[in-house]
Amino acid sequence: MKNISIILKKELRAYFNSPIAYIVIVLFLMLSGYFFSLQLFVSNNASVRPVIDLMPLMFLFFVPAITMRLFSEEIKSGTIEILSTLPLKEEEIILGKYLSAVALIAICVITTLFYPFLVFLLGRPDLGQIFSAYMGTILIGSTFAAIGIFCSSISKNQIISFIAGFVICFVFYIIGQTAMFLPGLLADIANYTGISAHFENFTRGVADTRDILYFLSIITLFLYATLAVLKTKK
């Protein structure tokens, strides 16, 4: 646990010692603020639901941008070889880097907590639904981060890592959207495989254990795949 904490702090310092973290946080806040204001002042609807519904689409771009350097930079500069000689397990390196990305995503999400507070001043929203929606948002961000870190481990080119991360995340997102156009069993498979239906349950205020297990399974799958890639490279 101590080694994971060391890697986590190192990666967070790397984020905030460069413009990356600040650019991501500011752009994320500007986009979410724009859509919240649009809903509030144009549609006269005091709700965070429209912003939450857009989170997966925003994460499609922001999360691969956050994760693309985590291993690609190490592989390109050769410092991955130094890491492999240190008394660190591959699992600790992966978890430390992964948690640093999740921490930055969580910071982005936390910046939007002003919107529920404003909604509380204007109306009487369902607190449980808001909590569930934010829980789903963190889970989908964490899932995309696991996919992104896997893509970062397979290439030393950060642009390729970003594109690969975007494509895989997009596939998981779009599969669920196509369920309505598919017949019977195919629709059920697409609905379960895609992220959309699981995330929508959270936005409705339903924090189902099956949806939580779905996200945790995808996270575990891609972190394990990252471990396999690192062991192969070693």
What does the pLDDT look like over 131-160, one tens digit per residue?
A: 888 899 999 999 999 999 999 988 888 899
Which one-letter DSSP state was computed for residue 69? H
Contact status, residue 103 vs residue 8, Cβ threshold 8 Å: yes
Dihedral (CA of 18, 24, 27, 28) sign: negative
CA distances from residue 73 to 48, 118, 128, 153, 155 in whole angstroms, order as listed: 37, 40, 41, 9, 9
Distance from C-alpha of 103 to C-alpha of 90, rounded to nearest angstrom: 20
pLDDT given for residue 220 in this prediction:
94
pLDDT at 216 over 90: yes
Task: Note the pTM of the prediction, 2 decimals.
Answer: 0.90
pLDDT given for residue 44 in this prediction:
62
Give the model confidence (pLDDT) of 79-94 as tens digits. Answer: 766 666 667 788 888 8
pLDDT given for residue 83 in this prediction:
66
**Selected residue with higher pLDDT from 98 and 46:** 98
CA distances from residue 148 to 22, 160, 204 in whole angstroms, order as listed: 19, 11, 27
Give the model confidence (pLDDT) of 19-47 as tens digits. Answer: 888 888 888 888 888 877 777 666 666 66
Per-residue pLDDT band at 128 (split at 50, 70, 90): confident
**CA 90 from chain center: how many Å?**
22
Residues in contact with 9: Cβ distance below 8 Å, sequence separation at least 6, in sequence order = none
Q: Taking residues 183-209, report their average pLDDT.
A: 80
Q: Taking residues 204-216, report their average pLDDT.
A: 86
